[in-house]
């Protein structure tokens, strides 16, 4: 089980709002596949690809893309959980995984889902 995020355990997360209220903490244990699938269902448009939580956001122009990247950098830095980003003219691909789990081999933790929810909140103007 992943360490609780500001009093939140994976099992207690039932809504996106639960993820938005949570804060990332250091994680050493990866989520079980069933837990990851349950949390993924809370995040429309996100997929699991090669063990990472992924979503591509599309924008009207490069300025809007960079504005999103900067907002995401601010939010994720505050969480101390940083995504892998691929930035193009009108899109930004965001990929989360947690390097510290599975004995340093990586995998998914609750932190990835917390940050994914916060990434969506930026788009929705809630962050």
The residue extents of the domains of the chain are: 10-123
- In this structure, the strands spanning 84-88 and 91-96 are antiparallel
pTM of the model: 0.91
**C-alpha dist (Å) from residue 119 to 34, 104, 123:** 23, 25, 7
Per-residue pLDDT band at 2 (split at 50, 70, 90):
very low
Specify the CATH class of 10-123 in words: alpha beta
- Secondary structure (H, E, C), the chain: CCCCECCECHHHCCCHHHHHHCCCCCCCCCCCHHHHHHHHCCCCCCEEECCEEEEEEECCCHHHHHHHHHHHHHHHHHHCCCCEEEEECCEEEEEECECCCCCCCCECCHHHHHHHHHHHHHHCCCC
Looking at every residue in the chain, the average pLDDT score rounds to 92
Residues 10-68: pLDDT tens digits?
888 999 999 999 999 999 999 999 999 999 999 999 999 999 999 999 999 999 999 99
């Amino acid at each position: 089980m992943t360490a609780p995020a500001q009093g939140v355990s994976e099992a207690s997360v039932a809504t996106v709002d639960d993820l938005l209220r949570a804060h990332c903490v250091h994680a050493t244990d990866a989520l079980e596949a069933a837990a990851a699938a349950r949390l993924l269902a809370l995040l429309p448009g996100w997929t699991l690809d090669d063990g990472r939580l992924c979503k591509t956001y599309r924008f009207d122009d490069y300025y809007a893309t960079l504005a999103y990247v900067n907002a995401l950098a601010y939010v994720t830095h505050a969480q101390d959980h940083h995504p892998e980003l691929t930035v193009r003219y009108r899109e930004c691909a965001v990929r989360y995984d947690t390097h510290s789990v599975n004995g340093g081999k990586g995998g998914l933790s609750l932190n990835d889902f917390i940050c994914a929810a916060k990434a969506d909140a930026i788009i929705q103007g809630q962050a």
